[in-house]
């Protein structure tokens, strides 16, 4: 479910629903049902964010999730249509391995990690969820991995070297 945002201030962000979770609270009079929606938004060009919205109705939870995702945007370092190097992201019990792939390989990833990578604009990568497959932990672990990505130029600048001399 990819939706185009019709908010011009959002900069044409794509929105994707990862999972809707039905939760209930037991009170004296019975159970109260609420919903939690995990959303991922991105521009398809290196900017991506995730948000968790909670409400009594599903559409309201989705709206809150999109708002939260727009507040938590990160910029991903890309090398063409793939990632610059192999990385492992961990969050809680979630662990995601991301490996760069050559042009034409495509996006080889499980459902939850795939949605994050699609929204980030990554077209050629291999991903594997190594531990927990809880959607919230997998999304957060994928984000932790994407945050640690650095291009050769960024590493050279940090070390005070000339770009291009790092891998010689």
- Is there a domain that residue 113 lies in? yes
Q: What's the mean pLDDT in 129-153?
A: 93
Q: Is 28 exposed, middle or buried (0-12, 13-18, 19+ CB in 10 A)?
A: exposed
Q: Answer yes or no: are the C-beta atoms of 45 and 60 closer than 8 Å.
A: no
Task: Say yes or no: 69 and 94 in one domain.
Answer: no
Separation CA 75–CA 107 (nearest Å): 19
Q: What's the mean pLDDT in 102-129?
A: 94
- How many domains is the chain partitioned into structurally? 2
Q: Answer yes or no: are the C-beta atoms of 150 and 77 closer than 8 Å.
A: yes
Confidence class of residue 54 from pLDDT cuts 50, 70 and 90? Answer: very high
- Is there a domain that residue 162 lies in? no
Q: What is the pTM of this model?
A: 0.88
C-alpha dihedral sign at 122, 123, 128, 134:
positive
Work out the percent of the chain whose per-residue pLDDT is above 70. Answer: 92
Q: What's the mean pLDDT in 139-160?
A: 90
Q: Give the model's pLDDT for residue 104.
A: 92
- Is there a domain that residue 35 lies in? yes
Q: Give the model's pLDDT for residue 168.
A: 64
Specify the CATH number for the domain of residue 108. Answer: 3.30.230.10
């Amino acid at each position: 479910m990819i939706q185009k945002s019709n908010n011009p201030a959002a900069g044409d962000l794509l929105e994707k629903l990862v999972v809707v979770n039905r939760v209930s609270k037991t009170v004296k009079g019975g159970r109260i049902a609420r919903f939690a929606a995990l959303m991922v938004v991105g521009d398809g060009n290196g900017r991506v964010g995730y948000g968790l919205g909670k409400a009594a109705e599903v559409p309201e939870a989705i709206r809150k999730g999109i708002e939260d995702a727009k507040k938590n945007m990160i910029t991903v370092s890309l090398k063409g249509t793939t990632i610059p190097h192999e990385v492992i992201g961990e969050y809680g019990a979630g662990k995601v391995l991301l490996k760069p792939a050559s042009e034409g390989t495509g996006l080889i990833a499980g459902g939850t990690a795939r949605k994050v990578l699609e929204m980030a604009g990554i077209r050629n990568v291999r991903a594997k969820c190594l531990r927990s497959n809880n959607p919230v932990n997998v999304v957060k672990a994928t984000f932790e991995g994407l945050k640690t990505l650095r291009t050769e130029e960024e590493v050279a600048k940090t070390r005070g070297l000339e770009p291009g001399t790092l891998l010689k």
